[in-house]
Amino acid sequence: MSSGVLEVGLDAVSERVKISRLRRRDPDAFEALVKEHQDKVYDFCVRMLNDREEAHDLVQEIFVSVHQHLDKFRMDARLSTWIFRITKNHCINRLKYLKRHGRGRSEEYGEVSEAALHDAVGSPQKPDEALSAARERALVHAAIAQLDEDQRMLVVLRDIEGLSYEEIVEITELAEGTVKSRLHRAREKLADIIAGMDG
> Considering its fold, how many domains does the chain have in total?
1
C-alpha distance across the termini of the chain, in Å: 55
Asked whether residue 118 is assigned to any structural domain, the reply reads no
- Assess contact for 112 and 160: CB atoms under 8 A: no
- Any idea which of 7-16, 28-37, 143-152 has the lowest mean pLDDT? 7-16
Q: What share of the chain is helix, strand, coil (3-state, %, to 5)?
A: 80, 0, 20
> How far is it, in rounded angstroms, from Cα 67 to Cα 33?
10
Asked whether residue 71 is assigned to any structural domain, the reply reads yes
**pTM for this one?**
0.77
Return mean pLDDT, the chain: 83
Asked whether residue 5 is assigned to any structural domain, the reply reads yes
Asked whether residue 113 is assigned to any structural domain, the reply reads no
Mean pLDDT of 67-73: 90
Asked whether residue 47 is assigned to any structural domain, the reply reads yes
pLDDT digits (tens, 9 = 90+) for 103-118: 655 444 444 444 444 4
Range of the domain at 61: 1-106
Asked whether residue 25 is assigned to any structural domain, the reply reads yes
CA 84 to chain centre: 7
Phi, psi of 90 (to 5 degrees): -65, -40
**66: CATH:** 1.10.1740.10
Asked whether residue 165 is assigned to any structural domain, the reply reads no
Asked whether residue 81 is assigned to any structural domain, the reply reads yes
Mean pLDDT of 157-181: 95
